[in-house]
Structure 1
Amino acid sequence: MAGRLSADAVVVGGGPNGLVAAIALADAGWEVLLLEANDTVGGAVRTAEVTAPGFRTDLFSAFYPLAAASPVIRDLHLEAHGLRWEHAPRVVTHVFPDGSATTMERDAEATAAHLESQAAGDGEAWLAMLEQWSRLRDPLLDALFSPFPPVRAGLSLGRQLGSRGLLDFARLAVLPARRLGEEQFAGPGPRALITGNAMHSDLPPDAAGSGLFGWLLTMLGQDVGFPVPSGGAQSLADALRSRFEAAGGTVRTGARVASVDVRGGRAVGVRLTDGERVAARRAVLADVDAPSLFTQLVGTEHLPASYVDALARFQWDHPTLKVNWAVDGPVPWRSPEAVGAGTVHLGVDDNGFVDHSAAMSTGRVSTAPFVLLGQMTTADPSRSPAGTESVWAYSHLSHSLAHDDEALAASTEAMRRVMEEAAPGVRDMVLAEHVQRPGDIEAANSNLVGGAINSGTAHLHQQLVFRPATGLGRPETPVAGLFLASASAHPGGGVHGACGWNAARAALGSEKAVRRRLARTAWSRLLG
Structure 2
Amino acid sequence: MAESVDAVVIGSGPNGLVAANVLADAGWSVLVLENADEPGGAVRTAEITAPGFRNDLCSAFYPLGIASPVIAELGLEQYGLRWRHAPEVLAHVFPDDRAVLLSRDLDTTVRSLETFAPEDGDAWRAEYAKWQRIRDHLLNAVTRPFPPVRAATGLVRTLGTAEMLRFVRMATLPVRRLGVETFAGEGARVLLAGNAMHTDLGPDSSGSAVFGWLLSMLGQDVGFPVPEGGASSLIDALIARLKARGGHVECGRLVTKVLLADGRAMGVQDRQGGRVRATRAVLASVPAPMLYRELVGVEHLPARLVSDLDKFEWDDATVKVDWALSGPIPWTAPEARQAGTVHLGADVDGLAGISNDLACGRVPRNPFLLLGQMTTADPSRSPAGTEAAWAYTHVPRGKLLTDGSLRRRADRIEQAIEKHAPGFTSLIQARAITGPHDLAELNFSLNGGAINQGTAAIHQELIFRPIPGMARADTPIDRLFLAGASAHPGGAVHGAAGANAARAALAREKWTGGAYRAMTHSINRLLYGSD
Q: Same fold (TM over 0.5)?
A: yes
Under a length normalisation based on structure 2, what TM-score does the superposition of the two structures give? Answer: 0.95
Q: What is residue 293 of structure 1 aligned with on the other side? A: 291
Matched with 1:62 is: 60
Q: Secondary structure at the match of 1:339?
A: helix
2:228 to 205, 226, 230: 230
Whole-angstrom distance in 2 between the partners of 1:145 and 1:511: 22
State whether residues 407 and 433 of structure 2, in contact with CA within 8 Å, keep that contact through their aligned partners in structure 1: no
SS, match of residue 7 in structure 1: strand
Query: How far apart are residue 407 of structure 1 and its match?
Result: 5.0
Q: Distance in 2 between matches of 1:223 and 1:416?
A: 31
Matched ranges for 1:204-223 at <5 A: 204-223=202-221
Does the 8 Å CA contact 2:398/2:448 hold for their aligned counterparts?
no
Closer, same or farther in 2 for the Cα pair 1:103/1:402, shift >3 Å?
farther
Change (3 A) 1:207 1:429: same
Once residues 54 and 64 of structure 2 are traced to their aligned partners in structure 1, the CA distance between those partners, rounded to angstroms, is 22
- Kept after mapping to 1: 8 A contact 2:10/2:286: yes
Q: Distance in 1 between matches of 2:470 and 2:485?
A: 15
> Counterpart amino acid of 1:348?
A
1:428 equivalent in structure 2: 426
Measured against aligned partners, the alpha-carbon deviations of 1:96-117 in whole angstroms (never above 9, x if no partner) come to 1111101112201221122123
1:109-168 deviation line (CA, Å, top 9, x unaligned): 221122123321111111111001001111111111111111111111111111110110
1:32 corresponds in structure 2 to 30
| Distance of 1:199 and 1:402 partners within structure 2 | 23
Using the TM superposition, give the Cα deviation of residue 56 of structure 1 relative to its aligned residue in structure 2, in angstroms.
0.5
Deviates more, 1:434-443 or 1:393-402: 393-402
1:440-479 matched pairs, under 5 angstroms: 440-479=438-477
Aligned to 2:269: 271
Mapped to 2, the partners of 1:222 and 1:402 lie a distance apart of 39
CA contact (8 A) 1:365 1:407 kept: no
* 1:387 has 2:390 as partner: no
Q: Which amino acid aligns with 2:196?
A: A
Question: In structure 2, what is the Cα distance between the partners aligned to 1:114 and 1:493?
Answer: 30
Whether the 8 Å CA contact 1:87–1:228 is kept in 2: the answer is yes
Task: Give the match for residue 125 of structure 2.
Answer: 127
* Separation of aligned partners in 1, 2:478 and 2:97: 57
Matched, 1:179 2:177: yes
Distance 1:464 1:168 in 2: 19
1:327-476 maps to which residues of 2 (within 5 A)? Answer: 327-403=325-401, 407-476=405-474
Q: Which moved more, 1:109-118 or 1:341-350?
A: 109-118
Q: Percent identity?
A: 56
Structure 2 segments unaligned to the other structure (5+ residues):
519-531
Answering whether residue 100 of structure 2 is matched by residue 102 of structure 1, we say: yes
Q: Any residues of structure 2 matched to 1:137-176 within 5 Å, and which?
A: 137-176=135-174
Distance 2:470 2:308 in 1: 13
Counterpart-to-counterpart distance in 2, 1:415 and 1:359: 17
Distance 1:73 1:485 in 2: 15
Deviation at 1:514, TM superposition (A): 2.3
Q: What amino acid is aligned across from residue 231 of structure 2 in structure 1?
A: A
Conservation of the 8 A alpha-carbon contact between 1:402 and 1:450:
no
- 1:410–1:385 CA distance, 2 compared to 1 (3 A): same
Alignment partner of 2:502: what SS?
A: helix
Q: Write the deviation string for residues 462-515 of structure 1: whole angstroms up to 9, x where unpaired.
A: 111111111141100011110000001000001000000000010011111126
Residue 89 of structure 2 is matched in structure 1 by 91
Distance 2:111 2:454 in 1: 38
Superposition deviation, residue 404 in structure 1: 5.3
* Alignment correspondent of 2:243: 245
1:255 aligns with 253
- Aligned partner letter, 1:75: E
Task: Measure, in 1, the Cα distance between the counterparts of 2:447 and 2:142.
Answer: 25
Task: Quote the Cα distance in structure 2 between the aligned partners of 1:415 and 1:121.
Answer: 35
How far apart are residue 247 of structure 1 and its match? 1.4
Contact between 1:319 and 1:402, CA under 8 Å: does it hold in 2? no
Q: Distance in 1 between matches of 2:136 and 2:514?
A: 33
Deviation at 1:413, TM superposition (A): 2.8
- Identify if the C-alpha distance between structure 1 residues 369 and 195 changes in structure 2 by more than 3 Å, giving closer, same or farther: same
Aligned equivalents of 1:415, 1:41: Cα separation in 2? 30
Q: Compare 413-422 and 199-208 and name the one that shifted more.
A: 413-422
2:13 and 2:41 in contact (8 A); partners too:
yes
Q: CA deviation at 1:246?
A: 1.0
| 1:186 Cα offset (Å) | 1.4
Which secondary structure does the structure 1 equivalent of 2:308 belong to?
A: helix
Counterpart-to-counterpart distance in 1, 2:154 and 2:232: 35
Contact conserved, 1:331 with 1:426, CA < 8 A, in 2?
Answer: yes
Residues 424-450 of structure 1, C-alpha deviation per residue, up to 9 Å, x if partnerless?
111111000110000000000011000
Offset, 1:405: 5.4
Contact 1:202 1:458 in 2 (8 A): yes
If the length of structure 1 is used for normalisation, what is the TM-score? 0.96
Q: CA separation in 2, counterparts of 1:98 and 1:407?
A: 28
Task: Provide the secondary structure at the position in 1 that maps to 2:115.
Answer: helix
**Secondary structure of the corresponding residue to residue 135 of structure 1:** helix
> How many residues align structurally?
517
Question: 1:401–1:408: 8 Å Cα contact kept in structure 2?
Answer: no
Contact 1:367 1:411 in 2 (8 A): no
Cα shift at 1:409: 4.3
